[in-house]
Amino acid sequence: MTVMTPDRLLFTGADWTYETIQRINDACETIAHGEMGLKTYPNQIEIITTEQMLDAYSSVGMPLFYGHWSFGKSFAHHEASYRKGLRGLAYEIVINSNPCVSYIMEENSATMQTLVIAHAAFGHNHFFRNNYLFKQWTQAEGILGYLDFAKTFIADCEERYGHVAVERVLDAAHALQSHGVHRYPRKRKPDLASEQRRERDRREHQEQMFNDLWRTVPEKEKGAAGNLSDERRKALLELPQENILYFVEKTAPRLAPWQREIIRIVRLIAQYFYPQGQTKLMNEGCATYCHYQIMGKLYETGQISEGSYLEFLGSHTNVVMQPDYDDKRFGGINPYALGFAMMQDIERIVVAPTDEDREWFPDIAGRGDPYAVLADVWANYRDESFVSQFLSPHLMRRWKLFHVQDEGDPKKDLRVAAIHDERGYRGLRRALSRHYDVAWQDPDIQVIDVDLAGDRRLMVQHNVLNGVLMSERETREVLQHLADLWGYDVHMREVDQASGKLLKEHSASARATFLQGG
């Protein structure tokens, strides 16, 4: 048992100074790097006020962002809820950048500052730096510089072309941003650091859109438009195209260069957030496991007091609390709770496996080095594959997990399709993993064709999975935004993915006033 003495404690009481924060960071770093083997970006810790935290909430957690009316609306909503006591605020916000920027609340006690530094500056930081999705899709070195460029560029456009004209483009691009990402790795990642130079080069050339398609065709293939094969034409246009904003930016006939640049800004930022949507469970589980380990080590070595440790445990318990399905507070599976539980369960399997664990997880059971195993897991999986590979029967029993299948008929009785046996465990794990699979959850919508030589109508297709059609109202509104950006009619077909049967059709026409002033 470690004897605590005042000279060993990182702090006493709730108050802290900047020197205290430095001591806390150094102590956490010793454990994170020295004992746990975490590999992180250099840390940059910023102290912010409540209002600054609310402001960060409104702009998707980014410290430096362009202006848009929706951010002000979000700020007002969050502020009103906070002032009325209807919601709390996060203790921190962390940015996937190099250096890794962690924003911590000045209202936090010294204990809570220790917790959030362990959680964000080391847990999230390690995950950002090492997970394969973030390596594929983001460049941590360039994001802050790019956000600065984006903010300046959009402010300049507002001054030059008018606030209303810029807002129209941003509204439309925001409506489509969930369909503005490449879902599979491209040959080249967006080089965020070079965006300013690229935009400057673009302004030096006049817009070249429709003729570009034909200019790229070899001389021997040129001739009447009808002589270009359908296959060759689609190849030149990169059809079918899942990234709708990318297609609009490159191909829309009527957009001005500055409007294309705004669309590019929105889609590159959406691409930056793409890995985070696929790793929420793992990212929070990693950070929560790390802060739990670090805080435990600080207490064991006498660097925080019993009172501080109890304060930490109270907060930690609230974070990982999972209400039962029949609890009024139930709102789905808490990613902090399940992620942390799975990390702890992997540690148990590695250190003290049962015969069942050895059968289900032969590669890791009894390995004896949980930090090494977890480092490999954090680096090489996303939520869907993590659950499908590492959710154990032991944890399913402890959490009393079950699966209810809704077949859409309220008159039908519920049927128990699986029980807690080997077949049931595998079925339950497979069903839960689908909740984290973007291919299963997000609608598959692609640009499939456009006749640039004719009426220029854009053809879009929704490949329907399990008979789930798009919302009529939302589809109408989003298609209108797409038609406005495209400048001509847009037609969408909803087609059953399995049978190819046409289920529904939608159309929208561009509003003549949309591009005025551009």
In tens, the pLDDT along 479-498 reads 999 999 999 999 999 999 88
Of the listed ranges 116-120, 184-188, 391-395, 430-434, the one predicted with least confidence: 184-188
Backbone angle region of 253, left / alpha / beta, with phi > 0 → left and psi within -120 to 50 → alpha:
alpha
* pLDDT tier for residue 140 given thresholds of 50, 70 and 90: confident
Distance CA 111, CA 410 (A): 50
Sheet containing strand 444-450, edge to edge, reads 444-450, 458-464, 490-496, 502-508
Of the listed ranges 111-120, 122-131, 462-471, the one predicted with least confidence: 462-471
Residue with tokens 């090494």, as numbered in its chain: 372
User: In this prediction, what percent of the chain has a pLDDT beyond 90?
Assistant: 55
Which of 44-48, 93-97, 355-359 is predicted most confidently? 355-359
Strand bridging mode 100-105 / 43-48: parallel
Contacts of 186 (CB under 8 A, 6+ apart): none
CB 456 within 8 A of CB 447: no
* pLDDT tier for residue 78 given thresholds of 50, 70 and 90: very low
The pair of three-digit structure tokens given for residue 309, joined into one six-digit string: 């440790």
**pLDDT score of 2 more than 60:** no
Q: What is the largest CA-CA distance in the chain?
A: 88
- Establish how many alpha carbons lie within 13 A of residue 329's alpha carbon, considering only the half-sphere containing its beta carbon: 6
pLDDT of residue 184: 74
CB 482 within 8 A of CB 489: no
User: In this prediction, what percent of the chain has a pLDDT beyond 70?
Assistant: 80
pLDDT of residue 77: 43
**pLDDT score of 245 more than 70:** yes
* pLDDT tier for residue 118 given thresholds of 50, 70 and 90: very high
Name the residue with higher pLDDT: 96 or 83.
Answer: 96
**pLDDT score of 361 more than 90:** yes
**pLDDT score of 173 more than 80:** yes
Q: What is the mean pLDDT of the chain?
A: 84
**pLDDT score of 79 more than 50:** no
**pLDDT score of 283 more than 80:** yes
CB 18 within 8 A of CB 318: no
CB 466 within 8 A of CB 482: no
* pLDDT tier for residue 198 given thresholds of 50, 70 and 90: low
**pLDDT score of 202 more than 80:** no
CB 396 within 8 A of CB 406: no
Return the number of other C-beta atoms located less than 10 Å from residue 497's C-beta: 13
Of the listed ranges 107-111, 231-235, 333-337, 491-495, the one predicted with least confidence: 231-235
Name the residue with higher pLDDT: 380 or 327.
Answer: 380
**pLDDT score of 69 more than 50:** no
**pLDDT score of 81 more than 50:** no
* pTM for this prediction: 0.85
CA torsion angle for 16, 21, 336, 468 (degrees, to 10)? 110
* pLDDT tier for residue 410 given thresholds of 50, 70 and 90: low
Which of 129, 133, 445 lies closest to 278, judged by CA? 133
The stretches of 321-449 forming alpha helices (DSSP H) are 335-351, 355-360, 370-380, 383-390, 393-399, 422-434, 438-441
CB 357 within 8 A of CB 392: yes
* pLDDT tier for residue 185 given thresholds of 50, 70 and 90: low
Adjacent-strand bridge partners of 439: none
Of the listed ranges 16-25, 69-78, 433-442, the one predicted with least confidence: 69-78
**pLDDT score of 315 more than 50:** yes
Buried b (16+ CB within 10 A) or exposed e, 379-405: bebbbbbbbbebbbbbbbeeeebeeee
**pLDDT score of 408 more than 90:** no
Contacts of 121 (CB under 8 A, 6+ apart): 25, 28, 40, 43, 45, 94, 100, 102
pLDDT of residue 232: 82
CA 249 to chain centre: 22
Residue with tokens 């650091």, as numbered in its chain: 193
**Residue 103, amino acid:** Y
